[in-house]
A and B are shown apart, each in its own frame.
Chain A
């Protein structure tokens, strides 16, 4: 056995461990209902993957992890999911949280499961994933997902693995009994952890008040190939605290704000090691744990192998609770445990003890008296803090100062409150200060986030406004330009008469339309005139005048169009007109001429003949011109 160091402070409360360690671990009776909180670990709550009314088998996944730091949840026995919703959970607040309620069917029917044949041949990542799928979270108290801790081997050099078997808190014997009865499982679990982390040295830290457990461990360790030391440490509370145990075994202090892995140490609880063994070798997820049920109010204090989700009431009944003797029900030990009010609160992965205390065993704390600055709290503080100063700062709500006095290094072990002669509930003050600081930080984060969003929105609105402004400006400029253009064109040829054909840059299409419109109008007017003449109506003179006027307009439009066409043709000719287009035009002109000739031949009417003849002459002229131009171009 190697050297054992010491840590500052600590207390020696009455152990009270004998009551519950007299009998072997008993199997807890199967309760009719199991309540499985979705959050039993540090990190995000698991997400249920079963429906209400669904039948599940023992070991079936019922909630899957969300994100990196989270743990999956499995059905502890076969049964039917009755509800998914709020139920009281083991938490200091006494609040309700989402739980899966499972009605057991008593058949305890396993889902198909198998252990890994040879985990040493698996890649570490695959093995860790298997452990993650089995929902293993630290069973010592905090419930940190174990797979995350086992991943540390990749970015940290781990040279020392410490197995925490100290179990320093009074009354609790769950780990003690586990070591006595299942030492081989623990060793097998240690082998798996060691395979993943590859430490050069493994130490099991155990308090000297557990001789039988030490003996059992020594027996299984004989002939073990691993470099494992059992280090027996003197019984002193809180030697089972992670940082305290590290200091006891290695003499090293984990720096404030760092994790043990930063100095090459990983700590695992014996219960976690056994759970890893079951997961890897048997394929069993974490669905049960050992719970100490003790205190003066139960007739048979003992350890139970209880399914996760078993209500406290069932375990207390199994340990023969005397209801009239019960004064306080605690979850955890007397030093760090929290009082719970509701007996339907279930056992979770981190529940190591249910303490049903009688009145004289745990009397109500006497009234708080003023601090007399005796500094006894400072002498027992295992984290070498100044509890008295922290108390004043917490009381005066000077949280910044409390933080500067390393409030967050406080492990809330309760040693200071235990020795305080003024019975000041010091830990309560620290917890209050810590949660105030955390809330403040969360609010600050939220405020910063809101500010960013607000500023982003302001920027967006500003940008949109600028864009709108730019668009409006562009439109205004365009309109002004158009106006100017119109005005200048009006100014150049203000007296060009009815025909729009006279504009500076004659648009052929426009002219064509204008000519067509004039023709149509003329035709309508002629029809009207004809009608009036036939029926001898009034106003024939006016109509006659209109027709004459329209005729003039139509002719003007036609002239303009022709002029424009010629100009176009000329300009096109200058530019080297499209020969093809010219040919088409000539062909069309010829076709018009022949059509008119045919029409002329068929027409009997004198007036119609005359009109057609005129048109024919015009068409012939056009055709000739085109023909001539075509000839010119093709020769050129």
Chain B
């Protein structure tokens, strides 16, 4: 009986001690915010375009952390989906067509002779990439523009156009080497099948 009592007593004491330690640790080492949100946010392309249905990349990151689908970001494309899948340990799913195709990179351009200076696009720009003042023409700072096209809709005179970024010798990429042709036709078929399996 005494052994049982002492065992219970000891376990009770241990439970109290560990409870105190855990309680202290939960206060002392409290983490502000959800760290996974930061990690997800750092993988998103930060265009702040809202095509995912959330007002910006961070809200979408928070939604993903709470179980939202990872394939709603067209500007990030399939590579972002893959990176998110890798981070979260889930299956990489193809990009959700409902939220748009993976677009080519574009920047906004304001036709300055048509601009009436209404500042509506300035208010819409999520990264403050448009410069201007009331009744003065506005212009886009190309280097800051993320190509989210949020400024296009508010413009009352339709003077904003999304222009694809042209490749210069500084942004040109070496192309992937062409896939080798198999020696015999069956080789080619098998190779293609394997590729699709990937």
Contact = CB atoms under 8 A, between A and B. Distances in A.
Given A429-B177, A432-B176, A93 B169 contact: yes
B53 to A, nearest CB: 17
B10 interface: no
B146 A450 contact: yes
Interface stretch (A227-235, A435-443, A593-601): A435-443
B144 A436 contact: no
Contacts of A91: 169, 172
Interface in B113-170: 126-129, 144, 146, 167-170
Contact of B169 (A89, A429, A457): A89
Interface string A89-100: 101110101000
A92 B48 CA distance: 35
Contacts of B176: 432
Given A428-B177, A429-B177, A454 B172 contact: no
A400 to B, nearest CB: 10
Given A95-B167, A95-B169, A450 B48 contact: yes
A457 B126 contact: yes
Contacts of A443: 45
B127 A447 contact: no
B164 to A, nearest CB: 15
B183 interface: yes
A504 interface: no
Given A95-B168, A95-B169, A454 B127 contact: yes
Contact of A454 (B57, B177, B181): B57
B48 A454 contact: yes
Interface in A412-465: 424-425, 428-429, 431-432, 434-436, 439, 443, 446-451, 453-454, 456-457
Interface string B37-75: 000011011111000000011100000000000000000
B174 A434 contact: yes
A367 interface: yes
A112 B150 CA distance: 56
Nearest to B128: A457
Contacts of A424: 180
B169 A448 contact: no
Contacts of B128: 453, 456-457
Nearest to B82: A397
Nearest to B127: A453
Given A95-B167, A97-B168, A369-B180, A436 B45 contact: no
A39 interface: yes
Tell me what chain A mostly uses at the interface: helix, strand, loop, or mixed: helix
B35 interface: no
A467 interface: no
Nearest to B75: A447
A361 interface: no
Interface string A262-282: 000000000000000000000
A454 B168 contact: no
Contacts of B129: 453
A39 B170 CA distance: 10
Contacts of A95: 167-169, 172
B33 interface: no
A446 B58 CA distance: 16
A368 interface: yes
Given A95-B172, A432-B175, A457-B128, A450 B181 contact: no
Contacts of B57: 451, 454
Contact of B181 (A89, A367, A456): A367
A609 to B, nearest CB: 69
Contacts of B146: 446, 450
B30 interface: no
Contacts of B28: none
B89 to A, nearest CB: 17
Nearest to A451: B46
Contacts of A436: 173
A447 B172 contact: no
Contact of B173 (A367, A428, A439, A448): A439
B127 to A, nearest CB: 4
A435 B174 contact: yes
A453 B141 CA distance: 13
A92 B174 CA distance: 8
Report which residue of A93, A97, A370, A450 has the largest number of chain B beta carbons within 10 angstroms of its beta carbon: A450
Nearest to A447: B46
A89 B172 CA distance: 13
Contacts of A435: 172-174
A450 B46 contact: yes
B122 to A, nearest CB: 11
Given A443-B45, A454-B56, A39 B173 contact: no
A524 B176 CA distance: 99
Contacts of B168: 95, 97
B176 to A, nearest CB: 5
B127 A457 contact: yes
A39 B172 CA distance: 15
B105 to A, nearest CB: 9
Contacts of A425: 177
Contacts of A454: 46, 48, 56-58, 126-127
A432 B174 contact: yes
A609 B169 CA distance: 106
Contacts of A457: 126-128
Contacts of B175: 432
Nearest to B144: A453
Interface string A341-369: 00000000000000000000000000111
A93 B47 CA distance: 28
Contacts of A456: 128
A443 B83 CA distance: 14
A487 B170 CA distance: 75
Interface string B1-12: 000000000000
24 contacts: A89-B169, A92-B174, A95-B167, A95-B168, A97-B168, A367-B181, A368-B180, A369-B183, A428-B174, A428-B177, A432-B174, A432-B177, A435-B173, A435-B174, A439-B171, A446-B146, A447-B45, A450-B47, A450-B48, A453-B128, A454-B126, A454-B127, A457-B126, A457-B127
3 shortest interchain CB distances as A-B pairs: A368-B180, A450-B46, A93-B172
Given A92-B174, A434-B174, 5 more contacts: A95-B168, A369-B180, A443-B45, A453-B129, A454-B56
